[in-house]
């Protein structure tokens, strides 16, 4: 193969056979993988989770920022994160992808390699999809089918008296995005960690499953649209108010450092930055203690960042103790 071959040269069926080689032999739960009308997979006697996430070039990503494998990783991570947020176990993935004919096949293969690497990590089977031409923008849409836990975690399950907790750290992805938007090279070694946090976020699949199994757990949701927006989703669906404690937010250390250098406010990244794929979860105080112990075993932090109250909407308690309501808007509207 010529590494500069484009999709126009190999054609759809040439591409599909290359993809099938990258994906490899399916496991025993898969009766029929890539290449027929449908994938045929083992069902589940319990409940299934189904989710799909679409990424569009120019809206969700720029091709010149991403290595192919990072793009494939991120497209799959978005759907895995949705399954994680229900506390489920992802099982099968399908990827639909619309491609310009002038794209090098090697880039497309890299997209699939990134997806396969992440799917193997979580023992998810890549069982099919669709490859089509696009006149213009590249579009990826990833479906994940998984097994539901006995009680799937929903955004409507936050209750008055619950604490609000978040896994990992916040603001790293938004800081990485801002670096890229200001022209920083994706390979700039000073900020590798932040940029990678944006380009290749890790879905909290194991953590979601374990948190969902604890007693006293309430609502769970992944932070793809930013902390404030997700809190609004919880508040509206659960008919409660959510209070975020600004001085408790677990800022990503490198984002905090970048904010110092730029004399910027890292709190805005933490509150409004999306594509973080951390889990936001509510639960009783006893749940919060168990959750900390459980995730500490895996060296994953989980931090109490607020509480659930009677009422509606989202408010932030600032460092000086003042409380300010925040509408469900992007950070440009936040004073």
Give contact residues for its own copies (rule: CB under 8 A): 31-32, 35-60, 81-83, 85-86, 88, 92, 94, 96-98, 127-130, 132-137, 139, 141, 143, 145-148, 152, 154-156, 221-222, 237
- CB contact burial 50-66 (16+ within 10 A = b; e otherwise): ebebebebeebbeeebb
- DSSP letter for 204, please: -
Q: Please, what is the minimum distance in Å from the beta carbon of residue 170 to its own copies?
A: 19
By beta-carbon proximity to its own copies, the closer residue of 42 and 123 is 42
Residue 40 burial (CB count, 10 A): 14
DSSP state of 43: -
| Cβ nearer to its own copies, comparing 93 with 259 | 93
The nearer residue to its own copies, 145 or 241, going by C-beta atoms, is 145
Instruction: Give 114's contacts (C-beta < 8 A, 6+ positions apart).
Output: 67, 68, 69, 70, 71, 72, 73, 76
Nearer to its own copies, 126 or 170 (CB): 126
| Residues in Cβ contact with 2 at an 8 Å cutoff, skipping those fewer than 6 apart | none
> Tokens in use for 291?
């959750």
At residue 275, the 3 state secondary structure works out as coil
Return the number of the residue (60 or 318) whose C-beta is nearest its own copies.
60
Nearer to its own copies, 74 or 175 (CB): 74
Min dist. Cβ of residue 261 to its own copies (A): 32
Residue 121: CB atoms within 10 Å: 13
Whether 324 contacts 233, CB under 8 Å: no
Least separation in angstroms between residue 26's CB and its own copies is 13
Q: Please, what is the Cα angle at 217 between 215 and 219, to 5 degrees?
A: 160
Q: What is the smallest separation between the CB atom of 222 and its own copies, expressed in angstroms?
A: 6
Q: How far is the CB of 116 from its own copies (least distance, A)?
A: 17
Sheet with 313-317, strands from edge to edge, namely: 217-222, 279-283, 163-167, 302-309, 241-245, 313-317, 323-325
Output the smallest distance, CB 164 to its own copies, in A. Answer: 17
Residue 221's beta-bridge partner residues? 280
CB of 258: closest distance to its own copies in angstroms? 28
Element (DSSP H or E) covering residue 116: helix 105-121
Name which of 54 and 264 has its Cβ closer to its own copies: 54
Q: How far is the CB of 243 from its own copies (least distance, A)?
A: 22
Sign, CA torsion 130/177/169/253: positive
At its nearest, how many Å lie between its own copies and the CB of residue 191?
27
Query: CA-CA distance, 232 to 62, in Å (whole number)?
Result: 28
* Nearer to its own copies among residue 116 and residue 212 (C-beta): 212
In terms of CB distance, is 181 or 188 closer to its own copies?
181
DSSP string, 71-86: HHHHHHHHHHHHHHHH
């Amino acid at each position: 193969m010529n590494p500069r071959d484009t999709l126009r040269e190999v054609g759809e069926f040439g591409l599909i056979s290359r993809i099938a080689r990258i994906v490899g032999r399916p496991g025993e739960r898969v009766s029929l993988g890539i290449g027929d009308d449908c994938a045929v997979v083992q069902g589940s006697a319990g409940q299934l989770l189904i989710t799909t996430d679409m990424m569009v070039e120019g809206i969700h990503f720029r091709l010149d920022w991403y290595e192919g494998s990072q793009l494939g990783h991120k497209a799959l991570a978005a759907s895995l994160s949705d399954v994680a947020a229900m506390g489920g176990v992802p099982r099968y993935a399908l990827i639909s992808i619309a491609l310009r004919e002038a794209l090098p096949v090697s880039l497309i293969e890299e997209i699939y390699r990134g997806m396969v690497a992440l799917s193997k990590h979580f023992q998810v089977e890549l069982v099919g999809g669709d490859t089509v031409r696009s006149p213009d923008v590249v579009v990826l849409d990833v479906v994940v089918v998984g097994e539901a836990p006995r009680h799937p975690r929903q955004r409507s399950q936050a209750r008055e008296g619950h604490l609000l907790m978040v896994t990992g750290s916040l603001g790293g992805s938004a800081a990485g995005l801002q670096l890229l938007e200001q022209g920083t090279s994706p390979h700039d070694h000073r900020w590798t960690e932040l940029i990678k946090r944006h380009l290749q976020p890790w879905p909290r699949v194991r953590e979601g499953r374990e948190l969902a199994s604890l007693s006293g757990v309430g609502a769970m949701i992944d932070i793809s649209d930013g902390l404030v927006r997700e809190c609004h989703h919880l508040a509206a669906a659960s008919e409660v108010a959510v209070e975020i404690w600004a001085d408790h937010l677990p800022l990503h250390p490198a984002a905090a450092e970048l904010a110092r250098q730029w004399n910027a406010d890292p709190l805005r990244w933490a509150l409004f930055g999306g594509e973080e794929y951390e889990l936001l979860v509510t639960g009783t105080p006893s749940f919060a203690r168990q959750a900390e112990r459980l995730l500490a075993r895996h060296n994953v932090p989980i931090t109490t960042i607020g509480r659930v109250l009677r009422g509606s909407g989202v408010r932030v308690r600032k460092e000086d103790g003042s409380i300010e309501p925040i509408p469900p808007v992007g950070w440009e509207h936040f004073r």
